[in-house]
């Protein structure tokens, strides 16, 4: 919009070229077009603004050839699998097409060799018969193996009746990561 500047930087802090994906930052008049500050939270201010004053949105976007940008994912939803950046949304789009899946969510679990590995949570479609529900994890894995690179295929698939939600009804992925960590601890103890 008028009065705002944007830039898209790669992981090294360089401007991306058309066709590349990077971190979106924006700049405007603080206190007029953009918020002035996180009240009483100096750490949030430090984490949210680059040294030169640009706001770090936490979004990864692709700069298209025509100059428009396309949303790729949130930085916090990116997985680091064997040194590769993997967008959780890319895996979720594949899983969403599996018959019997009502809603997917992908988060990272710690992995001793890969750093992180994708894990999928899926809510089955309403009224899905028991046998189809039980077969859902393998159906999800088969679809992912057919359409994604090996390192993007979830290492585990959990079928759940509901997912934790934020106040805006978005999936609370931080809570899913916490639940996953608890499952891993319980699995190690059992």
The torsion defined by the Cα of 13, 15, 19 and 22, in degrees rounded to 10, comes to 30
Beta carbons of 106 and 120 less than 8 angstroms apart? yes
pLDDT category at 188 given cuts 50, 70, 90 is low
- How does pLDDT run across 129-172, given as a tens digit for each residue? 999 999 999 999 999 999 999 999 999 999 999 999 988 888 99
Place of tokens 């789009």: 93
CA 155/CA 180 separation, integer angstroms: 12
Higher pLDDT, 88 or 167: 88
Residue 151 and residue 90: Cα distance in Å, rounded?
A: 13
Calpha distance 8→61 (Å, rounded): 7
The proportion of the chain whose per-residue pLDDT surpasses 90, expressed as a percent, equals 55
pLDDT in tens, 99-135: 999 999 999 998 889 889 999 999 999 999 999 999 9
Please tell me what DSSP assigns to residue 30. Answer: B
Q: What is the pLDDT of residue 72?
A: 80
**pTM of this prediction?**
0.73
Give, in order, the Cα–Cα distances in Å from 43 to each of 48, 53, 75, 91. 9, 15, 18, 32
Question: Taking each helix axis from N to C terminus, what angle separates 88-96 and 130-147, rounded to the nearest 10 degrees?
Answer: 130
Number of Cα atoms under 13 Å in the Cβ half of residue 49: 18
């Amino acid at each position: 919009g008028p009065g705002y500047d944007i830039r898209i930087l790669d992981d090294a802090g360089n401007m991306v070229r058309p066709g590349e994906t990077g971190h979106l930052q924006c700049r405007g008049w603080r206190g007029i077009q953009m918020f002035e500050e996180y009240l009483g939270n100096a750490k949030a201010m430090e984490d949210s603004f680059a040294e030169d004053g640009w706001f770090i949105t936490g979004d990864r976007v692709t700069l298209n050839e025509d100059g428009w940008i396309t949303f790729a994912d949130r930085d916090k939803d990116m997985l680091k699998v064997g040194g590769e950046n993997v967008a959780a949304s890319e895996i979720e789009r594949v899983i969403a097409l599996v018959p019997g899946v009502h809603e997917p969510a992908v988060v990272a679990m710690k992995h001793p060799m890969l750093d992180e590995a994708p894990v999928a949570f899926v809510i089955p479609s309403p009224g899905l018969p028991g046998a189809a529900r039980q077969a859902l994890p393998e159906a999800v894995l088969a679809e992912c193996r057919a359409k994604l690179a090996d390192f993007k295929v979830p290492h585990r698939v959990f079928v759940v009746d509901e997912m934790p939600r934020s106040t805006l009804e978005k999936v609370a992925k931080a809570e899913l990561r916490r639940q996953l960590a608890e499952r891993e601890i319980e699995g190690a103890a059992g």
